[in-house]
Amino acid sequence: MEKTIPLMGLETEYGIVREDVENSDPVEESMRLLRRCEARSVFGCWDYSRERTHLDQRGFTVNRLAQDEEEDEFCAEDGKRPYTYWEMKSDRVLSNGARFYNDHTHPEYCTPECLDVFQLAAHDLAGDRIVAECARLRNQDLGRKAVQIFKNNTDYSGHSYGTHDNYMIPRRLPFDQWVKELVPFLVTRQLYAGAGKVGSEWRKGEPFSGLQLSQRADFIETVLSIETMTQRPLVNTRDEPHASPAEYRRLHLILGDANMSPYATALKVGTTQLVLTLIAEEKAPLPHVLADPVADVKRVSRDRTGRVLLKRESGQTIAPVEVQERYLLQAKRHYEGQCEEWDWVIREWERVLEELKTAPEKLSDRIDWAIKEKLFLQFMETEGVDWDDPWMQSLDLEYHNLDPERGLYYGLEQEGAVQPFLVNGEPEEARVRPPQGTRAMIRGQAVERQNDEIRSIHWTGIEFKNGDCRDLTFIVTPTQVEQALNQKKESIAWT
């Protein structure tokens, strides 16, 4: 079954700290972490000339971004370092089709393009394991466990780093229509996709004590923006499709959380894919346009019941759980029974919404914020502390630690306190092999078979040192991938 939304991917920026140095340099530590990657990969060949970060989905080109100024400041400071810009980026493209690089102050892992939610959840988890293995090797070099990696979105010092989910969507619909019909879903998706956060870092409103649903909610400032480091939006407007620009857009969402639970990851991307399919096929429910969606992101995050009332432009109100139920009803009506993957998403979507309303404690074996709530309440009762104790934010960080001996999520997993997901070796397979049926197979094969012959590489193409090129721009569907792989050997650059 070839889908209306053919490809998806996740980008995760990881927090990094070196605990044996008072003022560790995250740029230096990220670079050194990348240097310890032993996965089969091509190093330092990413083709930045193919990047188009200043084109806006709304039909114009931005001359200057706020992040350009920050990048200029970084470059001025980096000029004092004993290595080049390219050495600092430490770009790797892996044989599984993924990209792994230093996003200046964070190691970032970008999954290969995936066809379905199970592929994507497995490749996201594979990324965690690759990054954790790099940290283990780096600490082995240091002779102590000094470098710690966190799959989260805040350092509790006012800085946020992103977990971006990406979807290839048809260009034929006006961008405004995508935004109008998608925003209510995104505002309320955190009911099951939120990673949970102790306290708040939003300095413009009322302080908050307790557990929020989402880590990114405090940092969302506008509905639409091409920026990613300032004026963070619900929907990023960068027009960089990584495919035929006449046929596709890449929907770049930066409001999501980094989920430790692969179940939550699968549900997050699965429900989003279904909603985007509804919009693309013009089957979405009538949009319940929210009067102030940016403020509502924070309001939803601070109410774990899903019942806080959100004001609509019509003057009426609607609860977050009701918003989700209306999208679910349409997805169930149109897509139930079409494939095993979508049936799983619909079934679990319905299950979490029902449990949220009737028995929210049942979510504590698979939804990150609910896992935290149960764990932290038990800890506070035992230790006699409250949500405002600094200890709680430290525990929040340790929940996301990728060290299997320190990470609280991994401890719960080992105890059987969280629901197993992807238990049949899929993440280990995803560490070394690209997702079947995707153009990442072509990229991965090139890296595996002709690593030393690659001059440059990108999501949309590969150039070899002998002048041969492979253009992946128009290879999107499984049929197109199969046709490319079945070409005559003499026309395939990697054989």
**Model confidence over 119-156: pLDDT tens digits?**
999 999 999 999 999 999 999 999 999 999 999 999 99
Long-range contacts for 340-349 (Cβ within 8 Å, ≥24 apart)? 341/116, 341/117, 341/118, 341/270, 342/270, 342/274, 344/117, 344/270, 345/117, 345/266, 345/267, 345/270, 345/271, 345/273, 345/274, 346/274, 348/263, 348/267, 348/270, 349/192, 349/267, 349/270, 349/271, 349/324
Model's pTM, two decimal places? 0.95
Catalytic residues: 103
**Rounded CA separation 189/182 (Å):** 11
Answer yes or no: are the C-beta atoms of 244 and 103 closer than 8 Å: no
**Residue-level pLDDT at 199:** 96
Torsion of CA 64, 66, 67, 72, to 10 degrees: 70
Residues 6+ apart with CB under 8 A from 393: 156, 198, 199
* Whether pLDDT at 77 is above 80: no
**Model confidence over 208-226: pLDDT tens digits?**
999 999 999 999 999 999 9
**Model confidence over 422-436: pLDDT tens digits?**
877 799 999 999 999
CATH number attached to the domain at 8-428: 3.30.590
**Model confidence over 245-286: pLDDT tens digits?**
999 999 999 999 999 999 999 999 999 999 999 999 999 998
SS3 label, residue 296:
helix
Tell me which residue of 142, 122, 108, 364 sits closest to 228, measured CA to CA. Answer: 108
Q: What is the average pLDDT value for the chain, to the nearest integer?
A: 93
Report, as an integer, the average pLDDT of 60-72: 70
Residues of the chain above pLDDT 70, percent: 95
Confidence of residue 495 (pLDDT cuts 50, 70, 90): very low
**Rounded CA separation 306/309 (Å):** 9
Please state, in angstroms and as integers, the Cα–Cα distance from residue 474 to each residue in 459, 471, 481, following that order. Answer: 11, 7, 10
Tell me which residue of 115, 93, 89 sits closest to 102, measured CA to CA. Answer: 89
Task: Break the chain into its structural domains and give their ranges.
Answer: 8-428
**Rounded CA separation 344/339 (Å):** 9
What residues does 461 pair with on adjacent strands?
458, 471
Confidence of residue 374 (pLDDT cuts 50, 70, 90): very high
Q: Checking phi first, is residue 246 left (phi over 0); if not, alpha (psi -120 to 50) or beta?
A: alpha
**Rounded CA separation 443/472 (Å):** 9
What residues does 103 pair with on adjacent strands?
none
**Model confidence over 442-489: pLDDT tens digits?**
999 999 999 999 999 999 999 999 999 999 999 999 999 999 988 734
Answer yes or no: are the C-beta atoms of 148 and 403 closer than 8 Å: yes
* Whether pLDDT at 493 is above 50: no
* Whether pLDDT at 90 is above 50: yes
Tell me which residue of 179, 240, 232 sits closest to 56, measured CA to CA. Answer: 240
